A and B are shown apart, each in its own frame.
Chain A
Amino acid sequence: MWDYSDKVKDHFFNPKNAGAVAGANAIGEVGSISCGDALRLTLKVNDDTEVIEDAGFQTFGCGSAIASSSVLTEIIKGLTLDEALKVTNQDIASELDGLPPEKMHCSVMGREALQAAVANYRGEEWKDDHEEGALVCKCFAIDAVMIEEMVWANKLRTVEDVTNYTKAGGGCAACHEDIEAILEKVLKERGETFDPSAAPVAKPEPVVAKGPLTNLQRIKKIEEVIMSFRPQLMADGGDVELVEVVDKTAYVNMTGACNGCQMSAMTIAGIQQRLMEVMGEFIKVVPASQMPKLVTIEEASHA
């Protein structure tokens, strides 16, 4: 079965904050019974300080769904609502020492329940912004819905295109048959036919830098490259931001849905590759969480 971390097992076997909070004033209900997981998050929020004083979960779901719910309640207790909203599914997964790619949606469900609960408290309506499809690429955890959307949006024609735009199929290549099936379907809907030998559409090429750059130009350029990854990450509820550049190291924050332990490493490797191609120099991309300490602007510019 799944290779769950000890932390996942611990939160499953000894869940924290199970059950509904008495007198809750923020409730978030998300999930899908057809997919087999659903979560109700109940919070007791201090009306003056907006601090989450208590959190409880009720989950219908598998081991990692229950563990994600449990760890979420532990993370957010004591935070203000604004602080809690900064919690990403990545944070939930990291706190559990990672989740298998097929199970990342459990951490997404946790984040969404939190958003829904905060919206409920503030009297807003919360809408889910993405649909989940069957997992196609297991190396990079890309599902069928995302591939289909990218094929539509960018008029993709070949498996290579799909890999360029979504990373799907760029690992072990076992899913190429499934990707071809999606291409066949979408192209048919567009009134075209799938031709495996068709010329790929243009790669999403970033602008190539020329000449020596000032520090500011260099950082701007690096940010531009990183920004070019955002659409594909955001399409699945994820995101990336440049936090700091120190010498030949770019520190980034990976947030949101489409990256877990393993996948985020792959994404970072992809960004690094593109950065080096564009900048024409060696640049190492590192998660901001591994930044040794806060670096002052002076230190950075002297580096």
Chain B
Amino acid sequence: MPDIYLDNNATTKVDSAVVDVMIPYFTEQFGNPSSIHRFADGVAKAIKKARSQVQELIGAEHDSEIIFTSCGTESDSTAILSAIKAQPNRKEIITTSVEHPAVLALCENLEKEGYTIHRMPVDKCGRLNLEAYKNLLSDEVAIVSVMWANNETGTIFPVVEMAEMANAAGVMFHTDAVQAVGKIPMMLQDTKIDMLSISGHKLHAPKGIGVLYLRRGTRYRPLLRGGHQERGRRAGTENTASIVGLGKACELAIEHMEYENVQVKAMRDRLEQGITAAVPHCFITGDLNNRLPNTTDIAFEYIEGEAILMLLNKAGIAASSGSACTSGSLEPSHVMRAMDIPYTAAHGTIRFSFSRYNNMSEVDEVLKVMPSIVATLRKLSPYWDSVNNCPVADPEQAFQPTYA
């Protein structure tokens, strides 16, 4: 059996139809879209088409609200830095404790420059308290930046409602939607979302292409100046082939939206039901009733995530983990910590994220190997009683190592 890829929240395979539409823009139509000759005459039109394809996927009112960038991170940085530059008197930013580092690390940096950062906590299911959010909104706040869906757990935040609340308080609203776009339907023209980030490689387009949606009329300051591209809002020669590819990927995402939410979801559900039925002492993290259809994040207690991934990899299965060791840091994932998942479980979280390229027989294959992988590692764990095949009584008490 060929290797099974269940790490689609990290990145996705570029759809072959996307590759096909890109090729001519490397070979024949390689001209600069700003040029006036036959090497470029189709390029500007192709970019225009791609812009409308993106517009359609996210339900933007105007195609000029689509700004092509180099990645999701650039879109996030552009949005937040634009808001603070355009409103120099507002010195507060509202975000959440479970954002992607693209937002969190930027906010941490702005904190050093004197900004007050409100990182909203989440409950054990990863949900926000909207009452507390409402109390934070004021005319001191430059921007609210809240992710649409969490990359680790798939938990969806009520960004449409939160944008309404921000708008009512006169505060700009940005959402990092890199995990949500293409997986759940959206109609931005019916919302009060001012800015939204997209990353191409999360939806079967190539890496190195992103989008910032910028609602018409939103006060804006570019991150990159130096050219008229993107109507002067993002200078730099267009990444034409990737823009065309992203357009195609958006078109395909619309076509597969129902498949994603029915068949892909069914694969995910079967995997997590199968695992939780077969493996003792594991649980699904996040808001189970309000998640992306493709994501499940399962905490396997008393064992460590990187070790699980290595055994999965040996079995030809690709996934990812929130453990400290996979990133080389000293702490497990900040998302798990924010949800107050105990350390003995947080280090053992494994995220399986599906795409339309997966199938049910792959799910069966994972279900076949998962119980024995967990059992193998538990046999090695000081928190596990191998004789009785259960956790040692009161694990955190029974094993209290000297801190090293």
Taking beta carbons and an 8 Å cutoff, which residues of A are in contact with B?
A: 1, 9, 12-13, 15, 18-19, 29-40, 57-66, 102-103, 105, 108-109, 112, 116, 126-128, 131-135
Contact = CB atoms under 8 A, between A and B. Distances in A.
Contacts of A135: 328
Contacts of A103: 325
What 3 pairs between A and B have smallest CB-CB spacing? A62-B325, A62-B306, A102-B328
A59 B310 CA distance: 15
B325 A34 contact: no
A128 B330 contact: no
A29 B399 CA distance: 8
Contacts of B310: 9, 12-13, 63
Interface residues of B, number: 35
Interface of B: 302-307, 309-311, 314, 323-326, 328-332, 343-344, 347, 379-383, 386, 396, 399-404
Given A60-B303, A134-B329, A40 B401 contact: yes
Contacts of B400: 29
B10 to A, nearest CB: 12
B401 A38 contact: yes
Contacts of B307: 12, 61-63, 65-66
A183 to B, nearest CB: 14
Given A62-B304, A102-B328, A30 B401 contact: yes
**Max chain B CB contacts within 10 Å: which of A13, A36, A66?**
A36
Nearest to B331: A34
Given A12-B307, A63-B310, A32 B379 contact: no
Contact of A30 (B314, B326, B396, B404): B404
10 contacts: A19-B379, A31-B403, A34-B330, A36-B343, A39-B401, A62-B304, A62-B305, A64-B325, A128-B404, A135-B328
A106 to B, nearest CB: 9
B306 A31 contact: no
B404 A32 contact: yes
B382 A36 contact: no
Contacts of A29: 382, 399-402
Nearest to A129: B404
B7 to A, nearest CB: 11
Contacts of B332: 34, 36
Given A29-B400, A32-B401, A1 B380 contact: no
Contact of A33 (B309, B311, B344): B344
Given A12-B310, A65-B304, A128-B404, 17 more contacts: A13-B314, A18-B380, A30-B402, A30-B404, A33-B396, A34-B343, A36-B323, A36-B325, A38-B399, A60-B381, A60-B383, A61-B304, A62-B325, A64-B325, A65-B325, A108-B404, A135-B328
Contacts of B323: 36, 62
Contacts of A19: 379-380, 386
A61 B330 contact: no
B330 A18 contact: no
A238 to B, nearest CB: 15
Given A1-B326, A18-B380, A36 B304 contact: yes
B49 to A, nearest CB: 39
A127 B402 contact: yes
Contacts of B305: 62
Nearest to A9: B310
A109 B381 CA distance: 15
Contacts of B331: 34-35
**Max chain B CB contacts within 10 Å: which of A39, A61, A65, A127?**
A61
